[in-house]
Amino acid sequence: MTITKTEKQSLIDLANEARRRAYVPYSNYPVGAALRTKTGRIFTGVNVENAAYPQTMCAERVAIFKAVSEGETDFEIIAVVTNNGGSPCGGCRQVMAEFGLDVVVLFGNGEGKMVHETTVRELLPEAFTPEHLVPDN
């Protein structure tokens, strides 16, 4: 399925809007994500920081976990927006890989401009996927 420029911009806009709800009292680096499933449903997420830093949750994973909790596991595209168009962390890349290496990933900046487009496969070469857990026969 082809994703139009307008659809991509709409996801960037949704992620940028979600970013306003991020809980970032420590880093002051709000991140928003908007994930579209293959059924067309959209789930947003924001980063949620914690005084115990390792307990912080990234926006991408929040959106993915919301989708999974609603029964959606077939993803098409995710937009991630930060102030400066930053890239998803390694943990988020691994979680995205769990649900498909061909998922399109958009990076956007705080002005709502798309700055990069890629796929999970390109973000995480030689990803460890569920297929690696299948025992050899």
CATH number at residue 113: 3.40.140.10
Tokens 């680096």 -> residue: 29
Active site residues: 60
CB atoms inside a 10 Å sphere around CB 125: 7
Residue with tokens 């690696």: 132
pLDDT digits (tens, 9 = 90+) for 32-81: 999 999 999 999 999 999 999 999 999 999 999 999 999 999 999 999 99
Query: Which amino acid is it at 121?
Result: R
Residue type, position 66, single letter: K
**Is residue 1 over pLDDT 70?**
no
Number of separate domains in the chain? 1
- Note if the pTM is more than 0.85: yes
Which pLDDT tens digit goes with each residue over 81-94? 999 999 999 999 99
Which residues form the domain of 93?
5-133
131 contacts: CB under 8 Å, gap ≥ 6? none
67: which 2 tokens? 């989708």
Q: Which of 26-30, 90-94, 131-135 has the lowest mean pLDDT?
A: 131-135
